[in-house]
Protein backbone atom coordinates (compact mmCIF):
# COMPACT_ATOMS: atom_id res chain seq x y z
CA UNK A 1 0.00 0.00 0.00
CA UNK A 2 1.21 3.52 -0.76
CA UNK A 3 2.50 5.80 1.92
CA UNK A 4 -0.37 7.64 3.61
CA UNK A 5 0.81 11.22 3.32
CA UNK A 6 0.39 14.22 1.07
CA UNK A 7 3.60 13.23 -0.75
CA UNK A 8 2.26 9.70 -1.24
CA UNK A 9 -1.02 10.97 -2.69
CA UNK A 10 0.79 13.40 -4.99
CA UNK A 11 3.14 10.64 -6.18
CA UNK A 12 0.25 8.30 -6.95
CA UNK A 13 -1.61 11.04 -8.84
CA UNK A 14 1.43 11.83 -11.01
CA UNK A 15 1.97 8.11 -11.76
CA UNK A 16 -1.63 7.76 -12.93
CA UNK A 17 -1.33 10.80 -15.22
CA UNK A 18 1.87 9.37 -16.75
CA UNK A 19 -0.03 6.16 -17.46
CA UNK A 20 -2.82 8.06 -19.24
CA UNK A 21 -0.78 10.44 -21.42
CA UNK A 22 1.93 9.32 -23.83
CA UNK A 23 3.14 10.37 -27.27
CA UNK A 24 0.51 8.21 -29.01
CA UNK A 25 -2.15 10.31 -27.31
CA UNK A 26 -0.86 13.43 -29.07
CA UNK A 27 0.21 11.96 -32.43
CA UNK A 28 -2.15 9.06 -33.13
CA UNK A 29 -1.56 5.87 -35.05
CA UNK A 30 -1.76 6.19 -38.86
CA UNK A 31 -5.11 5.25 -40.37
CA UNK A 32 -5.03 3.68 -43.85
CA UNK A 33 -7.77 5.34 -45.91
CA UNK A 34 -7.02 3.35 -49.07
CA UNK A 35 -5.64 4.41 -52.46
CA UNK A 36 -2.26 5.40 -51.00
CA UNK A 37 -3.79 7.78 -48.43
CA UNK A 38 -2.87 7.69 -44.75
CA UNK A 39 -4.38 9.95 -42.09
CA UNK A 40 -2.62 10.67 -38.78
CA UNK A 41 -4.65 12.41 -36.05
CA UNK A 42 -3.00 15.17 -33.99
CA UNK A 43 -4.50 16.16 -30.64
CA UNK A 44 -3.91 18.67 -27.88
CA UNK A 45 -3.78 17.23 -24.38
CA UNK A 46 -4.45 19.40 -21.35
CA UNK A 47 -4.29 17.98 -17.87
CA UNK A 48 -4.23 19.16 -14.32
CA UNK A 49 -4.11 17.59 -10.93
CA UNK A 50 -4.49 18.45 -7.29
CA UNK A 51 -3.86 16.63 -4.06
CA UNK A 52 -3.60 17.41 -0.43
CA UNK A 53 -3.75 16.00 3.02
CA UNK A 54 -3.47 16.70 6.68
CA UNK A 55 -2.26 14.98 9.83
CA UNK A 56 -4.78 15.16 12.64
CA UNK A 57 -3.54 15.48 16.20
CA UNK A 58 -4.69 12.76 18.59
CA UNK A 59 -4.27 12.05 22.26
CA UNK A 60 -3.08 8.54 21.56
CA UNK A 61 0.10 7.52 19.79
CA UNK A 62 -1.94 6.56 16.72
CA UNK A 63 -1.48 8.98 13.81
CA UNK A 64 -4.52 9.97 11.77
CA UNK A 65 -4.27 11.22 8.21
CA UNK A 66 -6.89 12.51 5.82
CA UNK A 67 -6.28 13.40 2.19
CA UNK A 68 -7.27 13.04 -1.39
CA UNK A 69 -6.23 13.67 -4.92
CA UNK A 70 -7.74 14.09 -8.32
CA UNK A 71 -6.89 14.73 -11.92
CA UNK A 72 -8.59 15.92 -15.07
CA UNK A 73 -7.57 15.35 -18.68
CA UNK A 74 -8.93 17.00 -21.82
CA UNK A 75 -8.13 15.54 -25.22
CA UNK A 76 -8.93 17.88 -28.13
CA UNK A 77 -8.40 16.83 -31.75
CA UNK A 78 -6.78 19.77 -33.57
CA UNK A 79 -5.60 18.50 -36.97
CA UNK A 80 -4.92 15.60 -39.28
CA UNK A 81 -1.74 14.92 -41.22
CA UNK A 82 -2.80 13.57 -44.61
CA UNK A 83 -0.23 11.61 -46.61
CA UNK A 84 -1.39 11.14 -50.20
CA UNK A 85 1.10 9.31 -52.43
CA UNK A 86 4.08 10.91 -50.69
CA UNK A 87 2.59 14.41 -50.44
CA UNK A 88 1.93 15.60 -46.90
CA UNK A 89 -0.67 18.18 -45.95
CA UNK A 90 -2.10 19.40 -42.65
CA UNK A 91 -5.87 19.72 -42.28
CA UNK A 92 -6.87 21.81 -39.26
CA UNK A 93 -10.17 21.20 -37.52
CA UNK A 94 -10.58 24.68 -36.06
CA UNK A 95 -12.37 27.38 -38.01
CA UNK A 96 -10.39 30.18 -36.32
CA UNK A 97 -7.21 31.81 -37.56
CA UNK A 98 -4.09 29.70 -37.60
CA UNK A 99 -1.27 30.51 -35.25
CA UNK A 100 2.19 31.25 -36.63
CA UNK A 101 3.37 27.78 -35.66
CA UNK A 102 0.42 26.16 -37.45
CA UNK A 103 1.15 28.15 -40.61
CA UNK A 104 4.84 27.15 -40.53
CA UNK A 105 4.05 23.47 -39.94
CA UNK A 106 1.42 23.54 -42.66
CA UNK A 107 3.79 25.16 -45.15
CA UNK A 108 6.77 22.83 -44.50
CA UNK A 109 5.73 19.97 -46.82
CA UNK A 110 5.10 22.37 -49.72
CA UNK A 111 8.39 24.19 -49.03
CA UNK A 112 10.33 20.92 -49.05
CA UNK A 113 8.71 19.94 -52.36
CA UNK A 114 9.59 23.31 -53.94
CA UNK A 115 13.20 23.13 -52.71
CA UNK A 116 13.50 19.60 -54.07
CA UNK A 117 12.28 20.80 -57.49
CA UNK A 118 14.81 23.66 -57.52
CA UNK A 119 17.68 21.36 -56.52
CA UNK A 120 16.65 18.87 -59.22
CA UNK A 121 16.64 21.65 -61.85
CA UNK A 122 20.16 22.73 -60.85
CA UNK A 123 21.38 19.14 -60.95
CA UNK A 124 19.94 18.69 -64.44
CA UNK A 125 21.61 21.92 -65.62
CA UNK A 126 24.95 20.83 -64.12
CA UNK A 127 24.65 17.38 -65.73
CA UNK A 128 23.81 18.97 -69.10
CA UNK A 129 26.76 21.38 -68.84
CA UNK A 130 29.14 18.53 -67.93
CA UNK A 131 27.98 16.47 -70.90
CA UNK A 132 28.62 19.43 -73.26
CA UNK A 133 32.15 19.82 -71.88
CA UNK A 134 32.71 16.06 -72.08
CA UNK A 135 31.81 16.16 -75.81
CA UNK A 136 34.30 19.00 -76.44
CA UNK A 137 37.20 17.02 -74.99
CA UNK A 138 36.91 14.23 -77.59
Query: What pLDDT shows up at residue 97?
Result: 56
Segment 123-135 mean pLDDT: 66
pLDDT of 51 higher than 70: yes
Query: What pLDDT shows up at residue 1?
Result: 43
pTM, to two decimals: 0.48
**Secondary structure string (H, E, C) spanning the chain:** CCCCCHHHHHHHHHHHHHHHCCHHHHECCCEEEECCEEEEEEEEEEEEEEEEEEEECCCCCCCEEEEEEEEEEEEEEEEEEEEECCEEEEEECCCCCCCHHHHHHHHHHHHHHHHHHHHHHHHHHHHHHHHHHHHHHC
Q: What is the pLDDT of residues 20-48, one digit of tens each?
A: 777 677 888 888 888 888 999 988 888 77
Q: What is the pLDDT of residues 57-116, one digit of tens each?
A: 777 777 777 877 777 778 888 888 888 888 888 888 865 555 666 666 667 777 777 778
More reliable by pLDDT, 106 or 118: 118
Query: What pLDDT shows up at residue 4?
Result: 62
Amino acid sequence: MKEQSAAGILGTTIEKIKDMVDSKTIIGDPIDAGEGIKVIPVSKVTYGFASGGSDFPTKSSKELFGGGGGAGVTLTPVAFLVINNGNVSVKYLSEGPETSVERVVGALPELVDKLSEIVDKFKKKDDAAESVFDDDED
